Homo-oligomer: A and B are copies of this chain.
């Protein structure tokens, strides 16, 4: 055992165990006021017929970042992809019943435009409200994807507080009310319209005024339009209630 490290650093090809590496992506989108996640129908065992996060095997000469983009492109169109970030790596030895698989999970954000789920492997891919898969009485997902989704959701909820990610979930330009709708959907809370507006506009670099205005869908005056600002981190943060 004492010599194990020395064996390792010499890279005897038989000195280390090989692993399969996959990427899995939790792609979020706000649709009709609800936070949804892209899931695919598994057509093969194990977990045949269950829902799973889109993903696939890492290729021999690509990074996981590249693999995540590639897998996502195979499920949906990548044009509208607003954001993609590595979440966490899952490596429990029994997470795949067939073999040893280490999965590098990502989370992504997509604006709710008319998104054609028309990739090569998009059969059975659709957006589902996340509420069905979190908390008690949650519907189960294949493998440990329920845990991954839970972790991704918490990461997104947290990042909305101190980063400008919320605008990645909206087509541009957008109104303050639409931006508020994103926060309300992700955090699953109801926010005070007047205070939210003041907070957003006083956070430098979050949004910038765009020309024109847009009618409210349910009455009221036309709303001013905005596009994302150049801020990455929010100062001060927009804290969850």
Contacts from A to B (Cβ < 8 Å) = 1-2, 4-11, 14-21, 42-44, 56-65, 74, 86, 88-89, 91-93, 98-100, 102, 104, 120-121
Contacts and interface: CB of A to CB of B under 8 A. Distances in A.
A165 to B, nearest CB: 15
Nearest to A64: B91
A13 to B, nearest CB: 8
Contacts of A64: 89, 91, 102
Contacts of A104: 89, 91, 102
22 contacts: A1-B4, A1-B7, A4-B56, A5-B120, A5-B121, A9-B43, A15-B57, A16-B57, A17-B57, A17-B58, A18-B20, A19-B20, A19-B58, A21-B91, A58-B102, A60-B93, A60-B100, A61-B93, A63-B92, A89-B89, A89-B104, A102-B104
A15 B1 CA distance: 7
A11 B99 contact: yes
Nearest to A75: B5
A6 to B, nearest CB: 8
A61 B198 CA distance: 53
A56 B86 contact: no
A93 B62 contact: yes
A contacts with B: majority SS? loop
Given A5-B121, A9-B44, 5 more contacts: A1-B16, A6-B44, A8-B17, A21-B102, A64-B91
A6 B204 CA distance: 48
A62 B8 CA distance: 16
Contact of A7 (B14, B42, B100): B100
B14 A5 contact: yes
A87 to B, nearest CB: 9
A19 B17 contact: no
A10 to B, nearest CB: 6
Contacts of A6: 44
Contacts of A19: 18-21, 58, 102
